[in-house]
Structures are given as C-alpha cells and as structure tokens.
Amino acid sequence: MRRRWWWILAAVVIVGAPLAWYLGSPLFLNRVVDEAAVAGAGEVARGSFVGADDFHKGSGTAVIVRAGTQRGLRFENFQVTNGPDLYVYLAVHPEPRSRQDVAQGYVSLGKLKGNIGAQNYEIPAGTDLAKYRSVVVYCQPFHVVFATATLQAAP
C-alpha cells in the first residue's frame, strides 16, 4: 500500500511540476522587447490598450502603420499581464472581451514577442484593414482575452 502512494506522488510531481511551471511562471517573469519604429512609416490607425478584467491588465498604444506597400502593427509604451502562449490578433469586434467576441473574425499576427516594451508585427498582404476594428492580446490555450485596443482611423 505504501509503495502505491509513492508512485502516485511521483507521478503527480513529474506531471504536475512542469504543468505548474508552464501555467504559473509567466505571472512572475517578464519578457521585455525594445524594437525600433519602422522608418518613414505613416500612421493609419491607433488605439489605447485596456485590460480585459481585473486580473488581465494592459496599457500602451497600438498603432497601424504603412511604409510603401508594407503595413504593420506597432506597440508603444506597451505592458500586459504575462501568460502562456499569448498571441496578437486583429479582430472584427471593436471591444472583444470573450472567446465569442474574438470568434466573430480575426487574423493572427503571431505570437506576442514580449509582455513589456515596443514591438512590431507585420500585417499580411491582402488583409482588409477596414474590416478589423481592434487589436487583441489573446491566450490561445485557454481562450482568454488579456488586453484590447479599439482602433480609430488616423486624422
């Protein structure tokens, strides 16, 4: 009987410790990014980040820029609560707060480079920017919105 408990405890530690680290470590670790702005880029739209709830906080600015035929998304003075597998989306919904809001339509710009700092993301060619009204930092494994920025066209 004692031997069985030892194996159960060992299995819990072997499986549980890596899982706990995967889920919990982002809460204590920050990834800081400091990418330069794209030279000669003109502003197309911008929005200010807000957190999705009391736990998932976000701040800073999302700016859609254009340089020639290239379009990109830039985060400035950006900070968000860290989490596992965070991605950057352009979303159709203007203020998505749930999985259902995001599911109305989005395009992924890739994995979040860091939870703090200035960073750039390429917008795929052919993306209809008029269709997308917000930027979302989204946790894919748990389908949780961390932060959003509602986009307003530049004057």
- Residue range 23-33, pLDDT digits in tens: 666 666 899 99
pLDDT confidence tier of residue 12, bands split at 50, 70 and 90: low
Residue 93 has pLDDT above 90, yes or no: yes
DSSP lists the bridge partners of residue 107 as: 90
- Mean pLDDT value of segment 11-18: 66
Domain map of the chain by residue range?
1-30, 32-153
CATH architecture observed for domain 32-153 = Sandwich (2.60)
Poorest-confidence range of 22-26, 39-43, 119-123?
22-26
Tell me whether residue 38 is exposed, middle or buried, using C-beta atoms within 10 angstroms of its C-beta: 0 to 12, 13 to 18, 19 or more. Answer: middle
Asked if 47 and 76 count as a contact pair (C-beta separation under 8 A), the reply is no
Q: What is the pTM of this model?
A: 0.84
What does the alpha-carbon distance between residue 2 and residue 81 come to, in Å, rounded to a whole number? 43
25: three-class secondary structure by DSSP: helix
pLDDT band at residue 14 under the 50/70/90 scheme: confident
pLDDT bucket at 155, cuts 50 / 70 / 90: confident
| Per-residue pLDDT tens digits for 51-69 | 999 889 999 999 999 998 8
DSSP-H helix ranges across the chain: 2-24, 99-102
Instruction: Output phi, psi for 52, to 5 deg.
Output: -80, -30
Q: Residue 113 — very low, low, confident or very high, per pLDDT cuts 50/70/90? A: very high
